[in-house]
Chains A and B, each alone.
Chain A
């Protein structure tokens, strides 16, 4: 099977988006950036189409960066290659509950 692609938008980003169906825990993906460089990474967790993985280790409380901008903060430690979504990322805006 071909290795699936993940896309990192800017150098600052600590997540990449996977555009492939059926990416499962332990599979390898090829993380590309816009400059054409790439890195093979092992995915931790099943990742649906269009969802994100960490491209480096992210500590609890650290900002999560996509498009070179913050999209939230990590609610737990996240390993390189691990699935990143609402279970370990929280929004910082529009929080009337805080």
Chain B
């Protein structure tokens, strides 16, 4: 059986599920100008992060890398950089790298243009040109093997590990078998389940990939422990605990189910992209939504499948997020935010395979242009970049 979707083929060969003009502030201080441009010009989205200045060099590079990867992501057709003029990130590198990916790019510089109002005027003109330039691009038939799916669970409860994550695991296995790419992360939520993942690594637990999995978990746990506190104050979250998850270990064991059962090919750092790699990959990113959704979109994922039990409603500016709800009570209460009801597995009405097939078919529709519930509601504004060091 072969499956296809209708996607936007980019100059560099990658295929997107959306065709957006990305407004990219190179620093938090440029956000207000970027927001004014997005409010005015249809077909734009903004990456309104909170980084880009007064950070250690390693983080400034990380912010520039992430913004560059977001601009190069296949759902972005063109980019408008909004620079203040004195930031720590490298705005010129952003223009060069996103242009090199074959996308039209313009830049406005607030200080050089003479302030806010003039920058907004210039930005609106530029964004309007870019939207008109790319808006005529047509979708074309694309084989499912070109899919890059990101997966995540959030606002989890005990139904997540027994229903919605199982559904995503089904889709992940099917996509890997069809030659596509799947990326999962949330390193914090490997704690207590890392041995299971390491054994699934290509080359086994003692091979380089298996060892790398242990290494990223150790790195994450050490960072939390270095503060000298019990992680339980923050993970599991109060919502997780109210939902019946008693420890980070229990949360992790339920969370890793969503990665399915196929071998793990390797570990990507936060700033690394998928450039043709196939199969199942890990991205080293924390579980919190703004940072991991950014990391996944920057990886090049065309969409995300997101499992929830308590009800997490948010999406991402340039990446459609399909919400799979494992808790039948939550689905009933929040069906305007939830795309699929996996709670029917808990109530015994459906099997994991049946809901898994529904999720796979929904995925093909969303990749071809159908809006997810959070897209239609415009609930996708929050994003941020995962940095390592302090603000200085």
Contact = CB atoms under 8 A, between A and B. Distances in A.
Interface stretch (B53-61, B132-140, B203-211, B247-255): B247-255
Interface of B: 157-159, 161-162, 191-193, 196, 221, 224-232, 235, 241-244, 246-250, 253-254, 309, 327, 329, 346
B221 A94 contact: yes
A48 B244 contact: yes
Contacts, number: 101
Interface of A: 7, 9, 17, 19, 21, 48-52, 64, 66-67, 69-72, 84-86, 89-98
B254 A67 contact: yes
A70 B225 CA distance: 20
B243 A92 contact: no
A91 B247 contact: yes
Contacts of A94: 191, 221, 224-225, 230-232, 235, 248
Contacts of B346: 19
Given A50-B243, A50-B327, A96 B227 contact: yes
A87 B243 CA distance: 14
Nearest to B234: A94
B225 A90 contact: no
Contact of A93 (B158, B159, B192, B241): B192
B191 A93 contact: yes
Given A91-B249, A96-B228, 18 more contacts: A17-B162, A19-B159, A49-B327, A50-B157, A50-B243, A50-B309, A51-B158, A69-B249, A70-B249, A71-B250, A85-B241, A86-B232, A89-B246, A90-B247, A93-B231, A94-B248, A95-B231, A95-B232
